[in-house]
Amino acid sequence: MVPISEQILDEDMQSAAVVDPDPPLVPTPAPAPDLGQRMAAVARALRREHSDPDRTLLAITESAVVNVPAAESASITTVLRGQFVHSAALAGELAAECDAVQETLREGPCLESAIEQRTIRIDDMDSEDRWPRFAAEASRLGVKSMICFQLYVEGYNFGALNLHSTQVRAFGEDAESIGALFAAHAAIAFSSAREEQQIRAALTTRDVIGQAKGMLMERYGLGAQAAFALLSKLSQDTNTRLADLAHQVVADAENSAEAGKGIGAGKVVGEGKGVDAADGVTAGADR
């Protein structure tokens, strides 16, 4: 007769001997990327949109929601000429509604952050007393916490990055530090995009003026200097920007060419007065 203790021991050993040859694999969660990795990812995302300022702003808002702790929606508010409020980019319906309130009331943290060049944090919208009308409307929409960072300054135009949460005291010191770093990266990316756009616009304008000048040279037998002088005089006489006038000359020439009527520059540049203007300008210019 086998003692009970030995029976139990024998059963335990048998149980232990039965091993699943293919145990299920439990996936190991990937470690969360550190701040440096997140910022590198943000920089790559912004570089992809560097040629278009509007797409750059949208990429900034979308990346902010992903990378700044507790952010549920984001917007970039621009203050034009120190007073007109405009939402340049939005990530989330809550951001759109909150910006609309500021635009209507002409008050709120985004405006002050943009103009006063500082970070503003609202921990509890229901107890906020700096912008009472805005706070009441924002709380009604469901916004309980906000944090705003100045993004850029261009003369009298300002921009702020705004983050929203439906939780009270959602943005702590970590969120503020990461958000400030993120805003600095975003400001550089946006500035680069704007600069590239301005360079492209300047090159395009130069090309169009060159085309218009060439058309006038051919039409009136002018030299390069005289043709440019003619464009400049017509720009002053008609109170039209030189670039816009050049676009008109080129567009009219293209339309006339399609209709088989020749260049027709006189019609565009002076309502039939182009020849007279050309004669006046070229009197003292080289031909």
Domains located in the chain, CATH noted: 35-195 (3.30.450.40), 221-282 (no CATH)
Of the listed ranges 2-6, 117-121, 191-195, the one predicted with least confidence = 2-6
Percent of the chain topping pLDDT 90: 25
SS3 283: coil
| Backbone phi, psi, residue 154, to 5° | -135, 95
Q: Using 50, 70 and 90 to split pLDDT, how confident is the model at 232?
A: confident
Helical residues (DSSP H) of the chain, grouped into ranges:
4-17, 35-48, 53-67, 93-105, 109-116, 132-141, 173-220, 224-237, 242-259, 265-270, 274-282
**Residue 150 pairs with which residues in a beta bridge?**
160
**Residue 170 pairs with which residues in a beta bridge?**
none
Which among 175, 150, 145 is positioned nearest to 66, based on CA atoms?
A: 175
pLDDT value of residue 47:
60
Reported as a single tens digit per residue, the pLDDT across 150-170 is: 887 777 778 889 999 999 999
> Is 210:228 a contact under the CB 8 Å cutoff?
no
The tokens for 140 are 């009604």
Radius of gyration of the chain (CA): 33
